[in-house]
Amino acid sequence: MAVVLDAFASYVQSMVAEMAREEMHMLLGLSGEISRLGVRLGDLKKFVADADRRSISDRIVQGWVRELKDAMYDAVDILDLCNLSSAAAAAKNPLVFCLRDPLFAHRIGRRIRVLNRRLDEIKTRGAHFSFVNLASYSEAAATTSSKVMADANRETTGEPVRSGAVVGEKIKEDTRELVEMIVTEKAPPPSSVIAIVGVGGIGKTTLAREVYNHDAVRDKFDKRIWLSVNHDWDKLELLRNAITLAGGDHRGERAMAVLCPILTAALAGKRVLLVMDDVWSHKPWEDVLQTPLSNAGLGGGNYSRVIVIVTTRDERVARSMKALQPYHHVDKLGPIDAWSLLKKQVVSNETDEAGIDMLQDIGMEIVAKCDGLPLAVKVMGGLLCQKETSRKDWEKVRNDSAWSILGMPEELNYAVYLSYEDLSPCLKECFLHYSLLPKNIVFGYDIIVGLWISEGFIHGSSSDELEESGRQYFKDLIVRNLIEPDKEYIDQYHCNMHDVVRSFAQYLLGGESLAAHAGETSIIGLQLNSERLPENIGKMRFLQLISLRGCENVKKLPDSIVKLGQLSLEELGPLSQLRDLAIKNIENVSSASFATMARLGCKQHLTYLTLGCSSRLDNNGLVIQKRRASEEEQRRIEEVFDELCPPPCIEILDIGGYFGQRLPRWMMSSTAAVALKFLRFLTMDDLAMCAQLPDGLCQLPCLQLLQVDRAPAIKRVGPDFLQPYRRRHHGHHSACQANAPAFPKLQRLELIGMVEWEEWEWEEQTDDVQAMPVLELLLLNRCKLRCLPAGLAAHGKYLKKLYLYEVKQLVSLENLPSIVELDTFHNPSLERITNIPRLQKLTIVKCPKLQVLHGVPAIQRLGLEDYRMETLPDYLQNVTKRSNGSRQEHPVKPERK
């Protein structure tokens, strides 16, 4: 358990007070001892906030705090036993509950007397430290809480732009240099190690991510594997993770001699990129991964190749792994780049920017204290987000005594310490708890919040209040940059904690962990290869959360699970309090009547729903003939999905593997606006047989993201996508409804892997109906679209970013007045890019037929990538750039990659 002394003392004291209110201590014959325990805890609580602060740098105080925490853990154990005893007695007979159990009272009473004497001794020794009676943090921080909530609520789009910001030309240059080294095979085969070296928080992982996700790297390698190694790595876990990410099956084996050949077989004959992140020793490479990867590189002839990128703080690790020299050292940020990064964290809109610029002199002093470390700058930006935009508040941060605290270990970061001290006691506990979660396991925010609630870190009078407070805490940690959203997940569902931040938190925790006492734990998580829950799970009376995510081998729940007083695990239908639900393998449902029994529409708290079938598509996004659904199978899955209509409160919906010819009726025009009126994110992937997109989505009032990934049967997107048939052909709709914009809140539209899609009909004039008025980003990937529709330019007035990848028949891009950023990758037929007057950033990758680039007067940066190109193309001669707002008559210098 990860606890902060101040919050923990309050928690224990509240447990004592609760027993007093319910007169439980009197009924158990323990009133005197429990009352004295409450008094002693109250006396100690006056000083624990100061003790918590001083324990960071004072080892003697650390020992005193640790002893007090141990005593409080004992107090919680004792009070839990009292609760269990009284609950058991009441369950048998109310009269029995009123009769005292002399043996139990004697045993518990003795433990409490010993604990009270122990607390007296701790209090006496604490007097020597002259602790100060600090005011309650929650009172001191009350003036900033409203701003914290407002800032946290800014994160509504699921697009983690602030915290993931990358600034400076240096990281772009470094990325280009490393990518070129990797893809042009300057590193000798069959296996090579490239080292990225630098201090903690300098940006090693960020650079490695940029290289790992680069399109040229994706194209070059058959397998890309990312392993977070860490200080406390485990041989077996590391090797098993590598096998799983390589697409192999370790089959639960534990012998290294068996697992190594499995990894070699999974990678043999392939081009492999392995990133080993945060490596502290050469042993993970030398003792575990080197032999199987080298054998894989040798076994596939000239084609096979293994490249290893290692990030490390210690140059000796790179040397021991025989990395290519010179090693790649990551430099610190310069003052201008550091200030730019700080501004990205603090500025939430254009109105704020002018006020922030007035504080640049103080900001430059703050970033100077961060010593050029990007992580420290981002954390300080997160802290300043909690403050008023005033010189007084910024000067307080600049002048905080924490910058010069003595005794803190050198490797710990002062910026993280400042941010930590600004947290409330409850939020400190949530932060520390997060640092103990395993790095290599994905935990969604719903599971994290459930863990925090079950540990007692969050307080509230109802389950709704608890969950809402937990979500707010989670958002607060994001705003402060103490955790960062993973861009692979929408709506900030999964976050990562930087190693420097994690190290700081674990230093504060000392030897504490997530270990739970048998019979009293509030959480259970199973390993992925577990086959059953513990048979005695019914004895865990305080259990509140079971996570079985990914445990596909679990066939049956133990009979004793019905004894759990605080957990309801009955059939899906009666579970009315569900917030997050995933239903997989729906193709196995034999009748729509079973889907009806799930009663999804009645679950008034459900916000996240996943409905999935097994995919019937191959790696190219085409239907596997052996898995093509029969007409009967298609009819049945359509009927089943029709009965799985979610409740109107749903906010995130993910549909995968659906193989009906039409999408569910509740996505059609007649019902979608009601059934999905609060839906914000919709993703649909592997739609094997659907011939058209549903016509009801355009009416959804809150939809912000629409993603379709792999729908090979769609050849045409017609006017129904933007204006349903009934609206176009029936005049009985009100004028307000008829003129309502289509997709009124849509910000991102991603159409991916619609490999047969050739036509998009969207006229410039559509009966005066506006469409996608706030669309900011459009992504088209892997289709046969011949041209962009005229309506896109006419209606998408806020469209800033256009990404076109493998649009095979696209010939020209013209007349796009709002586009600021354009990526065109692997578009073999593209010949012209003209009349895009606001375009500032253009990236062209492998577009061999491009001849004309004209009408881009605002261009500031142009990236050109084609490794077969021997000379720069002629069209670059016509490109000029702007500087300081005026037209400059000299060519843009391309970033040739």
The 10s digit of each residue's pLDDT in 746-802 is 999 999 999 999 999 888 765 556 889 999 999 999 999 999 998 888 888 889 999
Taking alpha carbons only, the member of 878, 327, 49 closest to residue 891 is 878
Residues 296 and 349 in one domain: no
Residue 383, CA distances (Å) to 47, 165, 393, 415, 475 in order: 26, 16, 11, 9, 13
Query: Tokens 């390589």 — which residue?
Result: 246
Number of domains composing the chain = 4
Task: Answer yes or no: is 228 within a domain.
Answer: yes
- What token pair was written down for 804? 């076109």
CA distance 241 to 630: 38
Q: Which of residues 297, 329, 361 is at a domain's end?
A: 329
* pLDDT tens digits for range 90-108: 444 433 443 456 676 677 7
Mean pLDDT of 63-69: 88
**Do 307 and 343 reside in the same domain of the chain?**
no
Q: Of the ranges 2-11, 499-508, 668-677, 837-846, which is most confident?
A: 837-846
What's the confidence (pLDDT) of residue 133? 77
Same domain, 178 and 323: yes
- 579 against 766, higher pLDDT: 579
- pLDDT the model gives residue 896: 45
Across the strands, what pairs with 655?
A: 611, 684
Query: Would you say residue 624 lies in a domain?
Result: no
> Between 463 and 23, whose confidence is greater?
463
Burial class (CB in 10 A: 0-12, 13-18, 19+), 626: exposed
Cα gap 63→125, rounded to integer Å: 11
Based on the domain organization, do 120 and 246 belong to the same domain?
Answer: no
Q: How does pLDDT run across 863-895, given as a tens digit for each residue?
A: 888 777 778 888 887 776 544 443 333 344 444
Give pLDDT, residue 768: 55
Q: Which helix (H) or strand (E) holds 63?
A: helix 59-92
Q: Which domain holds residue 24?
A: 1-132
Q: Cβ-count burial of 37 within 10 angstroms (0-12 exposed, 13-18 middle, 19+ buried)?
A: buried
Residue reference for tokens 């919680």: 76
Minimal CA–CA distance to 136: which of 223, 7, 236? 7
What does the alpha-carbon distance between residue 331 and residue 551 come to, in Å, rounded to a whole number? Answer: 43
Which distant-in-sequence residues (6+ apart) come within 8 Å of 326 by Cβ?
none
Tokens of 239: 């090797």
Half-sphere exposure of 207 (CA within 13 A, CB side): 32
| pLDDT beyond 60 at 143 | no
243 contacts 262 by C-beta, under 8 angstroms: yes
What is the pLDDT, as a whole number, of residue 186?
A: 55
Residue 852 has pLDDT above 80, yes or no: yes
Return mean pLDDT, the chain: 80
What pLDDT does residue 597 have?
Answer: 85
Each residue of 487-507: b (16+ CB within 10 Å) or e? eeebbbbbbebbbbbbbbbbe
Query: Could you say which DSSP state residue 84 is in?
Result: H
pLDDT over 80 at 636, yes or no: yes
pLDDT, tens digit (0-9, with 9 covering 90-100), for 188-200:
555 789 999 998 8
Contacts of residue 180, defined as CB under 8 A and 6 or more positions apart, other chains included, come to 186, 897
Residues 349, 307: one domain? Answer: no
pLDDT for res 167: 54
Looking at residue 741, its amino acid is P
- 164-173 pLDDT, tens per residue? 455 556 788 8
Do 115 and 71 lie in one domain? The reply is: yes
Domain boundary among 494, 518, 542: 518
Nearest C-alpha neighbor of 174 from the set 147, 152, 144, 206? 206
Share of the chain above pLDDT 70, in %: 78
pLDDT at 712: 95
Question: Is 477 within the bounds of a domain?
Answer: yes
Do 115 and 78 touch, CB atoms closer than 8 A? yes
687 phi, psi to nearest 5 deg = -90, 90
User: Is the pLDDT confidence value at 272 over 50?
Assistant: yes
How high is the pLDDT of residue 264? Answer: 92
Cis-peptide, bond into residue 326, ω within 30° of zero: yes
CB of 778 closer than 8 Å to CB of 749: yes
Burial state string for 117-134 with b = 16 or more CB within 10 A and e = fewer than 16: ebbeebeeebeeeebeeb
Cα(598)–Cα(500) distance, integer angstroms: 45
Q: Which CATH number belongs to the domain containing residue 258 in this structure?
A: 3.40.50.300
- Whether 26 and 69 share a structural domain: yes
Q: How confident is the model at residue 162 (pLDDT cuts 50, 70, 90)?
A: very low
- pLDDT for residue 735: 38
Q: Select from 378, 201, 212, 224 the least CA-distant residue to 278.
A: 201
**Same domain flag for 29 and 93:** yes
- Whether 535 is covered by a domain: the verdict is no
Tell me the residue type at 408.
M
Q: Is pLDDT larger for residue 210 or for residue 486?
A: 210
Single out the residue in 484, 518, 552 at which a domain terminates.
Answer: 518
Predicted pLDDT at 350: 65
Instruction: Judge whether 216 and 865 are in contact, CB under 8 Å.
Output: yes
Pick from 38-42, 428-432, 715-719: least confident: 38-42
Q: Does residue 392 carry a pLDDT above 50?
A: yes
Give residue 153's pLDDT: 39
Establish if 302 belongs to a structural domain.
Answer: yes
User: Could you tell me if 409 and 448 lie in one domain?
Assistant: no
pLDDT band at 185 (very low <50, low <70, confident <90, very high): low
Q: How confident is the model at residue 521 (pLDDT cuts 50, 70, 90)?
A: very low
- Cβ(224)–Cβ(247) below 8 Å: no
Asked if residue 316 belongs to a domain, the reply is yes
The arithmetic mean of pLDDT across residues 718-747, rounded, is 65
From the list 331, 409, 417, the residue with the least C-alpha distance to 369 is 417
Q: pLDDT grade, residue 611 (50/70/90)?
A: very high
- Name the pairing type of β-strands 886-891 and 880-883: antiparallel
In a domain, 208, yes or no: yes
Do residue 347 and residue 459 come from a single domain?
no
pLDDT mean over 520-528: 46
**Within this chain, do residues 365 and 399 fall inside the same structural domain, yes or no?**
yes
Same domain, 190 and 118: no
d(CA 141, CA 87): 38
Can you say whether the dihedral through the CA atoms of 73, 467, 685, 794 is positive or negative?
Answer: negative
Q: What is the mean pLDDT of residues 114-135?
A: 85
Which tokens belong to 107?
Answer: 């045993």
pLDDT over 80 (residue 744): yes
Sign for the CA dihedral angle at 359, 360, 362, 366 comes to positive
Residues 561 and 576: their CA atoms lie apart, in Å, by: 19
Q: What's the pLDDT at 769?
A: 63
Please tell me what DSSP assigns to residue 333.
Answer: P
Please state, in angstroms and as integers, the Cα–Cα distance from residue 678 to each residue in 57, 82, 647, following that order.
49, 45, 9
Which residue in 848, 846, 877, 878 sits closest to 863, CA to CA?
Answer: 846
Please state which of the ranges 137-141, 291-295, 432-436, 569-573 shows the lowest mean pLDDT. 137-141
- Domain of 430, CATH number, reads 1.10.10
- The answer as to whether 367 is a domain residue is yes
Whether the predicted pLDDT of 406 surpasses 70:
yes
* pLDDT tens figures, 302-328: 556 889 999 999 999 999 999 998 999
